[in-house]
Amino acid sequence: MSPRNPLRRGGGSSALSVEELGARAEALSQALEIGGDRLERQPAARAGEVADKVRERTGLVGGHTVVALAGATGSGKSSLFNALVGADVAQTGMRRPMTSTPTAAVWGSEPAGELLDWLSVGTRHQVEGSDGDPLSGLVLVDLPDFDSRESAHREEATRVLELVDVFVWVTDPQKYADAVLHDDYVAVLREYGAVTIVVLNQVDRLSSDGRDQVVADLERLLQRDGLADHEVLGTSTRTGDGLDELRARLRGAVEHSDAARHRLGADLRTAAEGLGSSVADGEHGVPDRARAELVDALARSAGVPTVVEAVARDFRMESWARTGWPFTRWVRAFRPAPLKRLRLDREVDGAPDITEHDVRAVLGRSSIPPPAPAARAAVDLASRRIGTSAGEGLPVRWADAVADAARPADRDLADELDMAVMRTSLRGRKPVWWALFGLLQVLLAVAAVAGLIWLVVIALAGWLQLPDIPTADVGPFATPFLLLVGGIVCGLLLAAIGRWLAGIGARKRAATVDKRLRRAIGEVADERVVEPVQQVLADHARTREGIRRALG
């Protein structure tokens, strides 16, 4: 079971260990560092102060418990301070604030100078003969009035309240329902119930019934403020009523030596809760559909359809040059090579030690036509959609960061896309049928030429009335005629088959190159758009995890 809270009735949660406090403070600091300006400024600044405070407070040597007496003007706070100390240390007054700077009283001989320096409390009082006192280790601080007319007094009270371990709210029968006390302090610090004591001072001014009514009403207000099950202590410095019970509460806090860790744990939880609106729950990522849309838009912008069409045409032209009818191949030499026109007819070694600058120095830029305005607009739209879809559900600052990460620089992006195309191999292995068809075309061409020469020789011999040159006939056709006609017809037929096969091969080669180019374009898309967006989302996840760790 959790140990009983010495400051209030009922049970209370255990204080965090120093190690756990340090771990949570470190997690909070990392969340702030990673989140940066994507977190809400005021909660982030507060969380940074809390993380620093936890490190500083846990780094102080000694087992002191710092208790602050805070109250409004005329509540008798300073009189209560003097009564607890047993000496007139703090100035008292009824009508106007008398405490302008914090005053500290220290019980026990253990040095508290470093702690009071950290608190910036200059006025200090060592309680005499307190070494054996049950309150040994207590540092009691009398604060300026939090409703003082002097803004410096209010600011000083607020500053010290940020640093102490235990709050003792001192009020009186006239101001116990004051809005400043409840709205600006008690309700705001409702997470600090484990280190809070509420004192109704000057109860000697009330009748017995009146005291019960005021105490009950004050407890109701505390319940509304979020401090459930808080017992109000009634005290009177004039009659001494309730002082022993208050000392007992303070003694319990000192003996447990965990008030500081309770306070720091509450600080961390409150700071982490304040950052809760700066992050969102759930996992966020770049949808595959949005990435595919971006790659498609970048491919059009990079001229991939033009390059793929040129690859197909280049394959068909090379196929025809290697397998077409030999007597008409020379005509194709006058047609410009599609890839050569785009300056993409050279292979690039894709070894890792070849940098983009080396490739650019050797090959320069391609001659792919620049993207049309519609293509550039499609890239911009696809990038925006990635930013919108990936940032959906995130707080505004994170969503804006995702949107900014999804917008690459147009000029650099164009260069990288061009380099991606130039680094991609647009060639492939030469089909086996090219060599076979080429050999057959040569044989058929030789046969046609041989038949033609044979026929010419026969014709010359007849014209010169030379003896007939014998020929072997095949049916009604002579062998030379069959060689000539067969070589021509079969060559043309083989060229037609080669053209048909070239069309199939061109489509396959185009599909292969299209996949290669889109893979290269996808790498650019990932590097310039997707990865920056994913980095922002990863930062968000790590920030959220750090906040959750600090929250416990």
pLDDT mean across residues, the chain: 84
| pTM, entire model | 0.76
Q: Residue 7's pLDDT band (boundaries 50, 70, 90)?
A: low
Q: Which helix (H) or strand (E) holds 265?
A: helix 259-274
- Mutual orientation of helices 18-35 and 259-274 as an angle, nearest 10°? 20
Q: Residue 48's pLDDT band (boundaries 50, 70, 90)?
A: very high
b or e along 375-399 (b: 16 or more beta carbons within 10 Å of the residue's beta carbon)?
bbebbeebbebbbebbbeebbebbb
Which pLDDT score is estimated for 349?
A: 45
- What's the whole-number mean pLDDT along residues 196-201? 90
Closest Cα partner for 300 from 313, 309, 312?
309
- What's the whole-number mean pLDDT along residues 375-404? 92
- Mutual orientation of helices 479-525 and 288-301 as an angle, nearest 10°? 120
- What's the whole-number mean pLDDT along residues 88-107? 71
**What confidence tens digit (pLDDT) does each residue in 59-84 have?**
886 788 999 898 888 888 888 999 99
- Mutual orientation of helices 373-390 and 531-551 as an angle, nearest 10°? 10
| Range with the largest mean pLDDT of 97-106, 341-350, 464-473, 514-523 | 514-523
**What confidence tens digit (pLDDT) does each residue in 120-151 have?**
898 888 988 767 788 888 999 998 888 777 78
Which pLDDT score is estimated for 2?
A: 37
Q: Which of 79-83, 315-319, 343-347, 360-364 has the weakest average pLDDT? A: 360-364
- Mutual orientation of helices 41-59 and 259-274 as an angle, nearest 10°? 160
List strand residue ranges (DSSP E) for 159-251, in order: 166-171, 196-200, 233-234
Between CA 26 and CA 547 the distance in angstroms is: 10
Which pLDDT score is estimated for 352?
A: 43
% the chain with pLDDT above 90:
37
Number of helices and strands in the chain (H, E): 20, 9
The backbone torsions φ and ψ at residue 106, rounded to the nearest 5 degrees and listed phi first, read -115, 130
Residue 549, Cβ density class (10 Å: 0-12 exposed, 13-18 middle, ≥19 buried)? middle
**What confidence tens digit (pLDDT) does each residue in 287-307 have?**
999 999 999 999 998 889 888
Q: Is 470 helix (H, G, I), strand (E, B) or coil?
A: coil
Q: Which of 179-193, 195-209, 273-287 has the weakest average pLDDT? A: 179-193
**What confidence tens digit (pLDDT) does each residue in 466-525 have?**
776 666 666 677 788 888 898 899 999 999 999 999 999 999 999 999 999 999 999 999
Which pLDDT score is estimated for 328?
A: 80
Angle subtended at Cα 221 by Cα 215 and Cα 223, rounded to the nearest 5 degrees: 105
- Mutual orientation of helices 410-423 and 356-363 as an angle, nearest 10°? 80
Between CA 133 and CA 520 the distance in angstroms is: 78
Query: Residue 129 carries which DSSP code?
Result: T
Q: Would the pLDDT of 353 be above 50?
A: no
**Structure-block tokens of residue 29:** 């600091």
% the chain with pLDDT above 70:
88
Query: Residue 186 carries which DSSP code?
Result: I
Which pLDDT score is estimated for 292?
A: 93
Which pLDDT score is estimated for 474?
A: 67
Which pLDDT score is estimated for 28?
A: 95
